[in-house]
Amino acid sequence: MCAVCGCNTSTIEGHALHGDAHDHGHTHEDGLIDFSRGAAGLHVAGMSQERTISIERSILSKNSALAELNRGRLRGKGVFALNLVSSPGSGKTSLLVRTIADMRGRRRIVVIEGDQQTSRDAERIRAAGAVAVQVNTGKGCHLDAHMVGHALDHLPLDPGSVLFIENVGNLVCPAAFDLGEAHKIVLLSVTEGEDKPLKYPDMFAAAALMLLNKCDLLPHLDFDVDACIAAALRVNPAMQILQVSARTGEGLEAFYSWIESRAAAMACAA
């Protein structure tokens, strides 16, 4: 988490936001060096497992408190928020552009765009017809609840609208950070390995839905769909999985129905 990556700097459209002993990895007979051993589940050079746990707990507890404030604010406004996560290049922005076009007239969509640098994705979203706020994280590898809270100040939060939070491309740190969303959605493209859920289990365990994207490319790839789905369900048996293509629109109506049903359920529970 941030005990390792040191994320601490971000900007919204150019405005700054503020926010001991050496542990050795365990070496297996097959040559694998496993730094996940120990109470902290990770390794930080020059820092004990106990100190790492203390820092991580402090960071995550503060983030969780801010996430609850975001969640209450969004629910109070009747806004259904989704945290879209994936590795870089899986097609998050292309999916959002298609979704904005297809759902026009059904739900108003607003977007928070997370990237380390540039506002290119926010510009694409605005060109598609949705309001978007770009959050640049600098050296940070994920969005946090503090950043999202500030971004909400710059968005119209109309009852019945859907907020997509497009997280920084990263299958590690975003898994641990609650942003105040209703659900995490993990996007995995068929141009990646089918074993991604097993390599990055925390992300897939945290998601309510997995979208297997770029399925139009399957005839040209050596990708085992069944093995990928089995791996994902091994990590998270409760996760729903949809096969889609942001380019052709394949499977997206099922995705829109998923959004509609859960947004309606949230409204009924309010």
CATH of the structural domain 62-269, one choice from 3.50.50.60, 3.40.190.10, 3.40.50.880, 3.40.50.300 = 3.40.50.300
User: CA angle 192-241-157, nearest 5°?
Assistant: 100
**From CA 132, how far away is CA 118, in angstroms rounded?**
13
In angstroms, the Cα distances linking 58 to 52, 64, 208, 253 are 10, 10, 26, 41
What are the sequence ranges of the domains in the chain? 62-269
pLDDT by residue for the chain (270 residues), tens only, comes to: 455 455 555 666 655 554 444 445 555 556 676 555 676 566 667 777 776 666 566 678 999 999 999 999 999 999 999 999 999 999 999 999 999 999 999 999 999 999 999 999 999 999 999 999 999 999 889 999 999 999 999 999 999 999 999 999 999 999 999 999 999 999 999 999 999 999 999 999 999 999 999 999 999 999 999 999 999 999 999 999 999 999 999 999 999 999 999 999 999 987
